Structure 1
């Protein structure tokens, strides 16, 4: 479908972009889709950002794609995809499964034992030296916080291990895995771990909360937890795939990530790669999927409302949260969407 413009959508996106840009030294790009309209505001939409934990949505979708093809299964033990002899913690007679890593129900802590040094001043590039060997060595010394599959504990370690295990299983590195399984089918030209010269030139300089320049993060073997870079147009294309605009080969995998869930509270559930939230009745009571991300100098937010054919992306090169602004924009789009409208979402060029 041809992209159309929407004056109201343009005003809403522009307002959020101006608010987030005010007082921040780093670049900000806000993008949104509602039905057949798409708008961007802020810096050049082609600006590249570190997207941090939004990478987890890609890692989980890669798992789903492999599962749909029968290469792996969500209930397959992690140990079967790691080098023989790797010590993987267990608890209560239960082994860690791949699907649990994607849903943060493996019982693994946020990071493996001994990875983050105890210091009042965190290192500028804390994961740069994380190799597969050091990651698996730390895993062997790690105790599970709960029985696998029982409780939700957000874990960068779990997502990183999932990316590492899937890459090893397919004989590729994580960057190649994501580009082959997701980016190429969806036409995401700028989503990758390793940047070439052109994308490095378009990478926004990251900043601390107080506006000081911050170095880039290299996630090493934890790339599956937060190592991707991307742009607002790429992430909106990814969001549109969640709304139904995906090639046939991805449709079933996306459905698997949406249908699989572990309830966390009254209005929240965790899905592979996503947090599911039921909005309050005054906001329509609709179900949305979102994930945020943060590295040393960047913040990101991606959310979709499948029932209303709306999506929002916010990328910032300053380490101050953009979550509230991003969710506020999505709620506005939901409230202002025509009732019972089922227009096919726009295709984003570039």
Structure 2
């Protein structure tokens, strides 16, 4: 057994006691290892939650690279917004727009009804635009994580391109990288709540850009490898990673990705996600040529073992 296989299987073993349906993929240079629990492999589809935000932001970067948009273009060029709303596409992609985490009223509803079935299904385009008109926005510039903002970015990009969210992601990212299992539509493995009970699938409607995608470990490996070497999206990736907003002394936000600087001055890029029945982590260390994908069909974080694996691969690289 190779060291990479052993490390990957250790991560699976660390996750499976409370997460019976998991898959972990490890990338080290040209070598890729994918390991899953019983009945799960690299083709199994999971809800990936907020990892979707990376796809949404990379789609923006791709459109900017093509000359169709600019990062500092006002949202009002793409969507009908309230008077005085000067939010830019860059701000939406970096969580610096001043928008709250969720549209008005939804955070309280989430706190009062934490197990609510399919809690974002009602988020139509009209609902989001109406909510924007009712929102008291803070001054832009400071990083404040916003599902609302990411959803508006996805909606704006689809309106501008004349495509639905799946069509846009496929055109800009999926087709160039041969991502055949990544979309909001289609079946996924059964998800489970934290207590192990079956969870209803989530459908984010017009908020899809914040967390609506389903994907596979195989697709996410292709996506990560596009960040580790030359690919059809190399220019898009360079643009996305070149944008930096400091969230705090330890965390930097890019277009979609977040990063942290390690003691040896390397940088890890990552994003995690979660829905009612799933959790996810995707990360990479470009200096070491390493990457990790971890997907679970239980709503328990996979971050600890995934970050441990990525750090080990980075140190070995």
Normalised-by-shorter TM-score class: over 0.9
Give the structure 2 partner of residue 143 of structure 1: 136
Q: Alpha carbons of 1:66 and 1:44: their partners in 2 closer, same or farther (altered >3 Å)?
A: same
Structure 1 gaps of 5+ residues are: 1-5, 338-350
Per-residue Cα deviation, 1:82-122 (whole angstroms, up to 9, x for no partner)? 03xx32664xxxx1100110000001000111335636323
Q: Distance in 2 between matches of 1:137 and 1:88?
A: 13
Any runs of at least 4 consecutive aligned residues in structure 1 with deviations exceeding 6 A, and if so which? none
Residue 107 (structure 1) aligned to one of 98, 113, 122: 98
Deviation at 1:183, TM superposition (A): 0.4
Deviation at 1:296, TM superposition (A): 0.3
Deviation at 1:124, TM superposition (A): 1.2
Q: Distance in 2 between matches of 1:81 and 1:286?
A: 37
Deviation at 1:67, TM superposition (A): 0.6
Q: Is the 8 A contact 1:116 1:126 kept in 2?
A: no
Q: Alpha carbons of 1:89 and 1:156: their partners in 2 closer, same or farther (altered >3 Å)?
A: farther
Q: Distance in 2 between matches of 1:213 and 1:106?
A: 36
Q: Is the 8 A contact 1:88 1:139 kept in 2?
A: no
Q: Is the 8 A contact 1:276 1:290 kept in 2?
A: yes
Q: Is the 8 A contact 1:89 1:139 kept in 2?
A: no
Q: Distance in 1 between matches of 2:84 and 2:151?
A: 16
Q: Is the 8 A contact 2:19 2:296 kept in 1?
A: no
Per-residue Cα deviation, 1:15-68 (whole angstroms, up to 9, x for no partner)? 10011011324x100001001111011122111000000001100011001111
Q: Distance in 1 between matches of 2:142 and 2:112?
A: 30
Residue 55 (structure 2) aligned to one of 43, 58, 62: 58
| SS class of match (1:109) | coil
Give the structure 1 partner of residue 73 of structure 2: 76
Is 1:267–2:250 an aligned residue pair? yes
Give runs of aligned pairs for residues 19-38 of structure 1, distance below 5 A. Answer: 19-25=14-20, 27-38=21-32
Give the structure 1 partner of residue 82 of structure 2: 87
Q: Is the 8 A contact 1:35 1:310 kept in 2?
A: yes
Q: Distance in 1 between matches of 2:298 and 2:254?
A: 28
Deviation at 1:210, TM superposition (A): 1.2
Give the structure 1 partner of residue 241 of structure 2: 258
Residue 154 (structure 2) aligned to one of 155, 163, 176: 163
Q: Distance in 2 between matches of 1:179 and 1:142?
A: 32
Is 1:49–2:41 an aligned residue pair? no
Give runs of aligned pairs for residues 183-194 of structure 1, distance below 5 A. Answer: 183-194=174-185
Structure 2 gaps of 5+ residues are: none
Q: Distance in 2 between matches of 1:173 and 1:117?
A: 29
Q: Is the 8 A contact 1:312 1:329 kept in 2?
A: yes
Give the aligned CA root-mean-square deviation in angstroms.
Answer: 1.3
TM-score of the aligned structures, taking structure 2 as reference length:
0.95
Q: Is the 8 A contact 1:77 1:97 kept in 2?
A: yes
Q: Distance in 2 between matches of 1:267 and 1:175?
A: 34
Q: Distance in 2 between matches of 1:320 and 1:117?
A: 22
